[in-house]
Amino acid sequence: MRFGIRLHVITRDTSAAAWAHAQSLLAAIDPAVIATVQAGLAASESEGQRRMRALHNGTTTDLEIAPNLWAGVGLVRGGAGTALVGSHEEVADRIVEYHALGIDEFILSGYPHLEEAWWFGEGVLPILRRRGLWASPDTADARTADYAAMHTL
């Protein structure tokens, strides 16, 4: 059995720049939109959604719920509403910590999608590669490992 996690990422060269970007995303949202979305999510019978809402209580204060873990995304969307926010090194550190807890699969995204994919690919993936936790899928070793994993039950 393998375990995974779904997170958004906001990663920049510095922690301050990443948190500034997170704040700019939040500042661009009309508080009425937050209230409307939260009212809709409050009607959900999902235990997971209830727990997500409990992380932020529908407010825009105290959204860092753990080191580099921000609940701001959950103010305006259902489902996965937390983001890893920080410098490339900090985000890599948090991914390493999740991996040490037994998380092997990561579904990561961000806003805007292409920009965050670029920041993550240029900043975080090289760190994870150096730490031995990521290999490019176009390397022979990665293809061999993927093939072996797919054919092992």
Question: By residue range, what is the domain housing residue 99?
Answer: 3-150
Q: What is the total count of domains within the chain?
A: 1
CATH number of the domain at 77, please: 3.20.20.30
DSSP letters for the chain = --EEEEEEEEEESSHHHHHHHHHHHHHTS-HHHHHHHHHHHHT---HHHHHHHHHHTT-SSS-EEETTEE-GGGGT-SS---EEEEEHHHHHHHHHHHHHTTEEEEEEE-SSHHHHHHHHHHHTHHHHHHTTS---TTSHHHHHHHHHHHT--
pLDDT in tens, the chain (153 residues): 999 999 999 999 999 999 999 999 999 999 999 999 989 988 989 898 889 888 888 888 889 999 999 999 999 988 888 999 999 999 999 999 999 999 999 999 998 889 999 999 999 999 999 999 998 887 655 555 544 444 333
pLDDT, tens digit, 9 for 90 and up, residues 68-95: 999 999 999 888 889 999 999 999 999 9
